[in-house]
Amino acid sequence: MRAEALLDGGSPVDGGGAASTPLLKTEMLTVRFGGLAALSEVNFQVAREEVRAVIGPNGAGKSTFFNCLTGVLRPSGGRIIFNGEDITGLRSNLISQKGIARSYQITNILPNATALENVRIAAQSRRHAWNMVSHHSAFADINARAEAALQSVGLLGKAGELAANLSHGEQRNLEIGIALATEPKLLCLDEPTAGMSAAETNETKELIRRIAKDLTILIVEHDMEVVMELCDRITVLHYGQILAEGTPEEIQANPKVLEVYLKT
């Protein structure tokens, strides 16, 4: 039995994770900060194995949206259904165990730990302590998983390097590795190429393309070239609401979207 099956929290709804249901769905998702609605009645769906971009001007509510999905923020209203289960308001560690991972906009690594230690800690967080102690095979499993995560972000050769000594681009990719080590079904990337050189951006784009083969990915990204090349569909947020949704081609040709971007 998997450790997560023993945990309370989350209740099955519509179809319990059948392949035909969306992996993620929000219904009327609303977040208010005082008088400001950072998200307002957002109805959103992502299909399994889709790569979806969430774009929009600064302050549109993109990070707030990710914060709700990952349990950092409790929504003021509405529901979040993940893999057929209502996860609204669950704590972030429970949501992580259910399979949503996130890499932060601001680097979130332990600088004085090695690259491998950084991903190993994340791999461990999926398991319960009792499981670790009673099954020595769990240790080998966690090491293997940590190494696989490093490999998939191209950092296996730097496993023993202190995270602080990695380049900025490598550190951002390590963050993606940390998220992957939790074996997510859904990976949320908040501005993965922010602050990267053109060469690093290209490498990260290839990295995301590689890991997207068997994952569902939500990506907040300002680099439109990255968005257009990587994503199946795009959702445009504006003042906490969905302004438009469609393929990259549809979004590029959408007059409402052009107006918002030309104004800012």
Ligand X SMILES: Nc1ncnc2c1ncn2[C@@H]1O[C@H](COP(=O)(O)OP(=O)(O)O)[C@@H](O)[C@H]1O
Residues 6+ apart with CB under 8 A from 262: none
Q: Which does 166 bind (CB under 5 to 8 A by kind): Mg ion, ligand X, none?
A: none
Q: What DSSP state is assigned to residue 18?
A: -
d(CA 162, CA 112): 6
CB of 36 to ligand X, least distance (A): 6
Shortest Å, Cβ 191 to Mg ion: 7
Closer residue to Mg ion (CB): 63 or 193: 63
Name the DSSP class of 186: E
Beta bridge partners of 217: 51, 187
Nearer to ligand X, 39 or 101 (CB): 39
Smallest distance from ligand X to CB 62, Å: 3
Which is nearer to ligand X, 37 or 51 (by Cβ)? 37
Helix (H, G, I), strand (E, B) or coil at 5: helix
Residue 6 per-residue DSSP state = G
CB-CB contact of 149 with 218 (8 Å): no
Smallest distance, ligand X to C-beta of residue 143, A: 36
C-beta closer to ligand X: residue 33 or 130: 33
Produce one character per residue of 4-15: b if its CB has 16 or more CB atoms within 10 Å, e if not: beeeeebeeeee
Alpha-carbon dihedral sign for residues 256, 257, 258, 261: positive
61 binds, among Mg ion, ligand X, none (CB under 5 to 8 A by kind): ligand X
Q: Which does 238 bind (CB under 5 to 8 A by kind): Mg ion, ligand X, none?
A: none
Q: How far is the CB of 227 from ligand X (least distance, A)?
A: 14
Radius of gyration of the chain (CA): 18
192 binds, among Mg ion, ligand X, none (CB under 5 to 8 A by kind): none
Binding site residues, ligand X, CB under 6 A = 33, 36, 38, 56, 58-64
- Residues between 58 and 77 with contacts to Mg ion, criterion CB under 5 A: 62-63
Interface contacts to Mg ion, rule CB under 5 A: 62-63
